[in-house]
Amino acid sequence: MINPLNKLSKSLGYQFNNEELLEQALTHRSAKSVHNERLEFLGDSILSFVIAERLYKQFPKCKEGDLSRMRSTLVRGETLVELAQSFAISEYLTLGPGELKSGGHRRTSILEDAVEAIIGAIYLDSDMPTIKGIILAWYDERLKNLKPGQQQKDAKTQLQEWLQGRKQELPLYQVTSITGKDHKQTFSVSCCIEHLDKTTHGKGSSRRKAEQSAARAMLNQLTSS
């Protein structure tokens, strides 16, 4: 019988010694007691380090601010979702009945977490040089095309500069709710521009990520209207 995960392993560029780690990385907390949250925590840190080190070496004359913005571009949710889609990760996810019914296999937060969890799983199954090589292979084209500058600014910075350029008041961010256990919280944040009577909302695994999501939604509203 053909193992369906073999195709995914080939896409990832890594064959697991302990395939249970890959299965765990693809398992959402809604499905089983053994799920991918701890692996995601590990993978998030590894990804940030590997990308930061590569940028430090690739751009020796760049200041910290530009390096931070470039790293943010590469590790942000949208980029992780693009990676997940390129590997067709949604086809291999294990979800609980509720998430299945609500289309959880397409939910961006679940796809982002799965990519980070897979990174953590590969690291545990191998070593740092191996996962470093794999991450850099995944990001090869993005790194080649990366340039310091305006396009790397995060959504909050872009929104602030958009408003300042029009001499308008800056947005107010407010945490509207925090759900989940201490080690795995989901933050909900509102972004309000009172004089324009506009409010958007964002969610993320940290306040910073939620604020970026809300700012991105506000930018989309302002620039498309």
Specify whether the CB–CB gap between 212 and 154 falls below 8 A: yes
Q: For position 225, what pLDDT does the model report?
A: 62
Statement: residue 162 has pLDDT above 80: yes
Q: Can 99 be counted among the known catalytic residues?
A: no
Does the annotation mark 116 as catalytic? yes
Q: 189-197, long-range: CB within 8 Å, 24+ apart, which pairs?
A: 189/213, 189/214, 190/214, 191/159, 191/215, 191/217, 191/218, 193/163, 193/168, 193/169, 193/218, 194/169, 195/168, 195/169, 196/168, 196/222
Q: Is the per-residue pLDDT at 81 higher than 80?
A: yes
- Which pLDDT belongs to residue 151? 60
Note the pLDDT of residue 157: 85
pLDDT digits (tens, 9 = 90+) for 178-215: 988 766 688 899 999 999 999 999 988 788 888 988 99
Coil, strand, or helix at residue 27? Answer: strand
Q: Both ends of the chain: CA-CA distance in Å?
A: 54
Whether the Cβ atoms of residue 97 and residue 24 lie closer than 8 Å to each other? no
CB-CB contact of 205 with 187 (8 Å): yes
Task: Indicate the residue type of 159.
Answer: L
pTM of the model: 0.71
Residue 216: is its pLDDT beyond 70? yes
Give the span between the Cα atoms of 67 and 51, in whole angstroms: 10
Catalytic residue among 37, 40, 44, 99: 44
Distance between CA atoms of residues 107 and 215, nearest Å: 19
Q: How far apart are CA 110 and CA 103, in angstroms?
A: 11
Summarize pLDDT for 85-133 with one digit per residue, the tens.
999 999 999 998 888 777 777 788 889 999 999 999 999 999 999 999 9
Residue whose token pair is 């790293």: 71
Secondary structure letter of residue 146 according to DSSP: -
Q: What band does 145 get if pLDDT is binned at 50, 70 and 90?
A: confident
Residue 166 to residue 59: CA distance in whole angstroms: 33
| β-pair partners for 177 | 188
* Mean pLDDT, the chain, integer: 90
Radius of gyration of the chain (CA): 19
Local confidence band at 135 (pLDDT 50, 70, 90 cut-offs):
very high
For 91-129, give the DSSP string.
GG-B--HHHHHTTGGG-HHHHHHHHHHHHHHHHHHS-HH
pLDDT at residue 200, as a whole number:
95
| Marked catalytic residue, from 37, 112, 116, 211 | 116
Which pLDDT does position 150 carry in this prediction? 54
Share of the chain above pLDDT 70, in %: 95
Closest to 15 (Cα-Cα) out of 28, 5, 30, 25: 5
Least confident range from 52-56, 172-176, 203-207: namely: 203-207
